[in-house]
Structure 1
Amino acid sequence: MLPEPHRLRRRSDFSSTVRRGRRAARPDVVVHALAEAQAESLVSDPGPRFGLVVSKAVGPAVIRHRVARRLRHICVGLIGEVPEGAHVVIRALPGAATATSADLDRQLRSGLRKLNLLASTDAASTGTTR
């Protein structure tokens, strides 16, 4: 479960993140992000905040809830990696219904890296270890 301080709840937070933030589209998700400098006036608690949009286009209620649970679980793992004060809205596309959790995780991380909210994994890509 995503802790309360890390959830976007208000409609105004969602809409400002989608309208004023940047976006990165992937095959099964679209990541909208509002960076820390822009989100300072919107958030009083430190830490990143995540919001999900899973519409009826994804599928029936059972499928939508499954996709939302998977995305929430991925977001919990990203709390320590995304900069404090950032707002992130994840919009699931219809393909998310058949995507595996690993695919969703990979696509979400890829979108966050494109938006410079997640450090690139240079050690993993070059094959070096610490």
Structure 2
Amino acid sequence: MLPEPNRLRRHSDFSSTVKRGRRSGRRDVVVHAFDHATTDELIRVGGPRFGLVVSKAVGPAVIRHRVARRLRHICIGLVDRVPEGTDIVIRALPGAATAGSSELEQQIQLLLQRMNLLESVSESV
């Protein structure tokens, strides 16, 4: 489970990240990232916050929960590697249902690296 300070909870936070942030996608996931340091608003104190969107298009409830657990585990590993004050929404696409955990992790790391929110990934995707 992600610690409370690292979770996006409010609908307005999700909407703000998706509407105002940058977006990058791969076959199984789309990552939306909004860095509060790039705006004139007050910078939120604390680490990055992550939110997940796993819609019914991914599959039935059992599959959606499995995908969400995998994504949550990936986010836990990224907390120390993403800059503070960054909100990230990870949206699972239907292909995430059949993708392995390592494949999802590689895709997310690559997307965050493309947005300059993560240091280089040693493995190529």
TM-score class, shorter-chain normalisation, is over 0.9
What whole-Å deviation, never above 9, does each CA across 1:29-73 have from its counterpart, x for those lacking one? 000000131478476441000000000000000000000000000
Query: 2:76 corresponds to which letter in structure 1?
Result: V
TM-score, scaled to structure 2: 0.92
1:128 match? none
After the TM superposition, list the runs of 4 or more consecutive aligned residues in structure 1 that deviate by more than 3 angstroms.
38-45
1: CA distance, partners of 2:47 / 2:114: 20
The answer on whether the counterparts of 1:39 and 1:87 sit within 8 Å (CA) in structure 2 is: no
TM-score, scaled to structure 1: 0.89
Unpaired segments ≥5 residues, structure 2: none
2: CA distance, partners of 1:19 / 1:32: 9
1: CA distance, partners of 2:47 / 2:9: 15
1: CA distance, partners of 2:71 / 2:91: 10
2: CA distance, partners of 1:78 / 1:97: 21
2: CA distance, partners of 1:14 / 1:80: 21
The answer on whether the counterparts of 2:48 and 2:87 sit within 8 Å (CA) in structure 1 is: yes
Query: 1:8 corresponds to which letter in structure 2?
Result: L
The answer on whether the counterparts of 1:48 and 1:83 sit within 8 Å (CA) in structure 2 is: yes
1:31 match? 31
Query: 2:106 corresponds to which letter in structure 1?
Result: R
SS class of match (2:120):
coil
CA gap 1:106/1:28 in 2 versus in 1, 3 angstroms:
same
1:98 match? 98
2: CA distance, partners of 1:116 / 1:8: 21
* Percent of aligned positions that are identical: 67
Q: For the aligned residues, what is the CA RMSD?
A: 1.6
